[in-house]
């Protein structure tokens, strides 16, 4: 085989456009790490009914797989359908009945799940309420190797359309759109078992971090005429320093005044959170934000329903029945499976179908009522989705260490 034949890559529809960043077709990824992936999640939620609809896809180009999911939560009862297929040479953002259409990139995306065996179906127009926030580049290094090298952006939105769950239909009308959020990332995120090398075959790190991340707090907020995205990360003693970690930056975010109203940067924060007994999930709390002009904002959060439990959508070993993940081959293309679990009382025991392991679980993805007080004392009411990862020891709230639970440590395993 000649060098030219060996390097011949498949063309994708994106190759029609003049924005290549390498001298190769877009299906070529200039990194052979199996943890390199590219994709997104979308959420539409309604505080009144307590219904959440999550959906996402990720491409694992070095394993030639595109995987996806749709997951619903109705006051703690979660249903999930997982889908997967071979990626090349079909580059459509479609897996069986699941399809995403980018109606207006960075502003409007249509999310479609046609009727299927899971009993979940939807047709949702996801609409951004303000520009995306491109996060600082995420990079982490261990023993001279980049274990994270990733770009990511976030956006607050709303959703119109409909969803059907187990025969019940929910409308998302123009007069009463649902809350919405999304996250988009690409690059090397972190180790992706089972594709990564087992830890027992790797030597201990020679440069372990002096401070490991304990807390991640990520919030998508909508309150009347404004939106906000912010996230912050702290060490075990509440340290606010740049971490050699998948997220890294101690604080980032802004208050956004729509598409044309501009934004103001968030430069400092404090928090007072209350925790669900036996878990590391939040029931109530306040976050105090300081903007670049010195203005003080108070965000009061109230979580009405049990938060969303991770692990069912397929990112972690044990969710897919065959023991694989969203990044692995499941014996056929396309592959589809689904299940339903009752997480209405948390924490609760849950047996992961893919490995038979039973763990005590709780939710880390919260939907919340919001009372927002601005620097002039004006009060706005709204809604938010926020994520809390609390890993290991965290002294500010009295949490001790945890036994390692693989990829779910700090993400909903008690």
Which residues in the chain land under pLDDT 50? 1, 3
- Does 8 map to a domain? no
DSSP assigned state of 203: P
Asked if omega into 39 is within 30° of 0 (cis), the reply is no
Phi and psi at 57, nearest 5°, equal: -140, 150
Residue 4 in domain: no
Buried b (16+ CB within 10 A) or exposed e, 154-164: bbbbbbbbebb
* pLDDT given at position 363: 97
Considering the domain boundaries, does residue 21 fall inside one? no
For residue 30, being part of any structural domain is answered with no
| Residue position matching structure tokens 């930056």 | 249
Query: What residues are paired with 102 via a beta bridge?
Result: 109
| Best CA proximity match to 72, nearest among 101, 94, 50, 39 | 50
Neighbours of 20 (CB within 10 A): 12
The answer as to whether 228 is a domain residue is: yes
**What is the rounded distance in angstroms from the CA atom of residue 98 to the CA atom of residue 77?**
22
Question: What is the pLDDT at residue 407?
Answer: 60
In a domain, 144, yes or no: yes
Residue 130 lies in a domain: yes
What CATH number does residue 218 fall under?
2.40.370.10
* pLDDT value at residue 205: 81
- The count of structural domains within the chain is 1
Q: Which domain holds residue 152?
A: 38-408
Q: How far does Cα 114 stand from its chain's mean position?
A: 23
414 in a domain, yes or no?
no
Cα distances from 77 to residues 80, 122, 314, 338, 358, in angstroms, run: 10, 18, 17, 14, 18
pTM given for the model: 0.95
Q: Which helix (H) or strand (E) element contains residue 285?
A: strand 282-291
């Amino acid at each position: 085989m000649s060098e030219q034949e060996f390097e011949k890559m498949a063309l994708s529809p994106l190759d029609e456009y003049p924005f290549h960043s390498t001298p190769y077709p877009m299906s070529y990824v200039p990194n052979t790490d199996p943890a390199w992936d590219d994709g997104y999640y979308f959420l539409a939620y309604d505080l009144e009914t307590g219904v959440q609809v999550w959906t996402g896809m990720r491409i694992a180009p070095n394993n030639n797989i595109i995987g996806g999911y749709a997951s619903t939560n109705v006051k703690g009862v979660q249903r999930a359908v997982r889908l997967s297929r071979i990626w090349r040479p079909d580059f459509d953002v479609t897996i069986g009945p699941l399809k995403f259409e980018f109606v207006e990139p960075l502003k409007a995306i249509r999310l479609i799940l046609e009727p299927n065996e899971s009993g979940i179906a939807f047709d949702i127009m996801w609409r951004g309420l303000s520009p995306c926030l491109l996060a600082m580049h995420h990079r982490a290094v261990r023993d001279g190797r980049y274990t994270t090298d990733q770009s990511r952006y976030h956006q607050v939105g709303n959703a119109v359309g409909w969803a059907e769950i187990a025969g019940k239909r929910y409308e998302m009308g123009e007069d009463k759109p649902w809350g919405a959020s999304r996250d988009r990332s690409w690059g090397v995120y972190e180790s992706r078992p089972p594709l990564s090398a087992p830890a027992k075959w790797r030597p201990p790190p020679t440069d372990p971090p002096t401070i490991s991340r304990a807390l991640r707090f990520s919030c998508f907020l909508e309150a009347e005429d404004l939106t906000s995205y912010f996230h912050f990360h702290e060490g075990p003693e509440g340290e606010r320093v740049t971490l050699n970690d998948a997220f890294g930056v101690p604080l980032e975010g802004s208050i956004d005044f729509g598409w044309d109203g501009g934004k103001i940067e968030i430069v400092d924060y404090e928090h007072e959170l209350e925790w669900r007994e036996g878990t590391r999930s939040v029931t109530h709390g306040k976050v105090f934000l300081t903007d670049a002009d010195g203005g003080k904002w108070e965000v009061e959060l109230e979580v009405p329903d049990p938060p969303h439990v991770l692990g069912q959508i397929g990112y972690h070993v044990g969710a897919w029945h065959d023991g694989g993940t969203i990044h692995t081959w499941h014996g056929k293309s396309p592959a589809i499976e689904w299940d339903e679990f009752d997480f209405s009382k948390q924490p609760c025991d849950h047996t992961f179908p893919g490995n038979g392991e039973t763990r005590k679980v709780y939710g880390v993805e919260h939907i919340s009522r919001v009372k927002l007080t601005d620097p002039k004392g004006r009060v706005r009411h709204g809604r938010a989705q926020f994520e809390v990862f609390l890993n290991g020891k965290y002294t500010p709230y009295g949490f001790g260490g945890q036994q390692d639970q693989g990829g779910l440590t700090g993400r909903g395993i008690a």
